[in-house]
Amino acid sequence: MTINPVKRRARFRFNRIPVEWLRSPWAILVSVVLAVFVGTVYKDFAVSLAPVGELYLGLLKMCVLPILLAAITTSIGRLMQSSNAAQYIKRILVIFPASLVLSSGVAVLVASVAGPGRNLSAQTLEALGILVNDSSVDLEMALTGPLPVEESTAGLLTFLIGLVPENIFDALSQGETLKVLIFSIIVGVSLGLVRHRVTEPCFDILEAIYRTFNQLINWLTLLLPIGLFSLLSYQLSQQGVDVMLSMINFIIAGLATFAIIYVICTLVIWKQTKRSLLGVLAALREPSILALATSSSLACLPSAITQLSDTLGFNRQTVNLVTPLSITVCRFGSVIYFALGAVFVAQLYDEPLGIGSILIIVVGSIFAGMATSGVTGILTLTMLGIVLEPLQLPLEAVLLLFAAIDPVMDPFRTLGIVHTGIAATAMIADREPTTAAA
């Protein structure tokens, strides 16, 4: 029996509709609406969905380290063999520090103008005091036990020694991103200094690994609505309304700051690509949604690389090198958050902020944010002590306040890390000649 070609093509298009629809903004919107409904009304059911979200997040993270290892090693190796290596190194050394200072400075400016810790009502102050006094035993043990603030602010020499992996396979199995990054840089430099004919098969193998796991990421994005629904509904079921209301001034100031920086970074990317603004927003949609859904900057790394190189047309070699560095090392979102938090605490204790104090916050938040690389959980928040200690402000008294609203702020902090990292990469990388001419 013969099948009419027209009917066969129509059937093929019909069969592809569900798959393509999963990538559309409508699918994301439906999953978000359902997650809000389930997370606020059917909290027990939302909690039961947590394993599904964790499974999806685990599958995304499974692909990150192989992509990181292959992309960084290949990019640095080929960059060392190219004639414009010095040019990109100069750009990195200028743009990364400038972007960090600008991000921290914007956060300090917005917090100083908005004043989230100033003129709080007696009711709000009482609610904050009750929240601190009602801290759980587990949290108190975590703060006063084996994870004190002093442990997080170890000396620079100890920190640098700890970056060198004694066993790369152990670092890979433990998910120690910074150690894998250092190993990739060292191996990439070594491969770049060896003769081209000998190293080319190594580059081909690494390129194959990169493409394989990138394809896995591409398939996993089809399941994004399901993963987003599971993760978001669980997060909403765990957030307390009283906590959000007591810290509402800080939450609003934080969201406004991240929104301002998101707009600035989008305009920077738009200027660098010289494409339509709608096209740029469409390309940035996937990594932005992943950041908000997963609260994991590493899980967004493959999507950010793909959108920058394949969709926006930046040089793939440079993107593969710079994007992991900007997201893993610079940690823009954490820098912004610590600057906001430091100003909030200073206002809460009626401490005046002069030029010297502002400089301490700007510089300290940069170091504190970069120190969060490879750190998770409550240790991320304890890095705020790096900023507060020179200002002689207490961390222990306010740490619980930040821990209580962290489920709300963590997705936006991750978005700040990813989106600002994409903008920094766009300022460093060149566009491909064919794209520039198009």
Identify which of 414, 419, 31 has the alpha carbon closest to the alpha carbon of residue 221: 31
Tokens 């089809």 map to which residue?
Answer: 222
Q: Does residue 24 surpass a pLDDT of 80?
A: no
- Angle 401-402-406 (CA atoms, 0-180°, nearest 5)? 125
Token pair for 167? 């066993």
What residues are paired with 314 via a beta bridge?
431
Length in residues, the chain? 438
Identify which of 171, 209, 197 has the alpha carbon closest to the alpha carbon of residue 73: 209
Q: Which amino acid is at 137?
A: V
Host H or E run for residue 257: helix 248-273
- Angle 368-235-414 (CA atoms, 0-180°, nearest 5)? 30
Task: Over range 287-297, report the average pLDDT.
Answer: 85
Question: Is 1.10.3860.10 the CATH number for 34-437?
Answer: yes
Average per-residue pLDDT for the chain: 77
Q: What pLDDT does 65 receive?
A: 78
Other CB atoms within 10 Å distance of the CB of residue 103: 30
Q: How does residue 434 score in pLDDT terms, banded at 50, 70 and 90?
A: low
Identify which of 428, 431, 432, 416 has the alpha carbon closest to the alpha carbon of residue 94: 428
Q: Does residue 257 surpass a pLDDT of 90?
A: yes
Burial of 199 (0-12, 13-18, 19+ CB in 10 A): middle
Tokens 């100003």 map to which residue?
Answer: 343
Task: Over range 86-94, report the average pLDDT.
Answer: 84
Low-confidence winner among 69-73, 271-275, 371-375, 405-409 (lowest mean pLDDT):
371-375
Other CB atoms within 10 Å distance of the CB of residue 12: 9
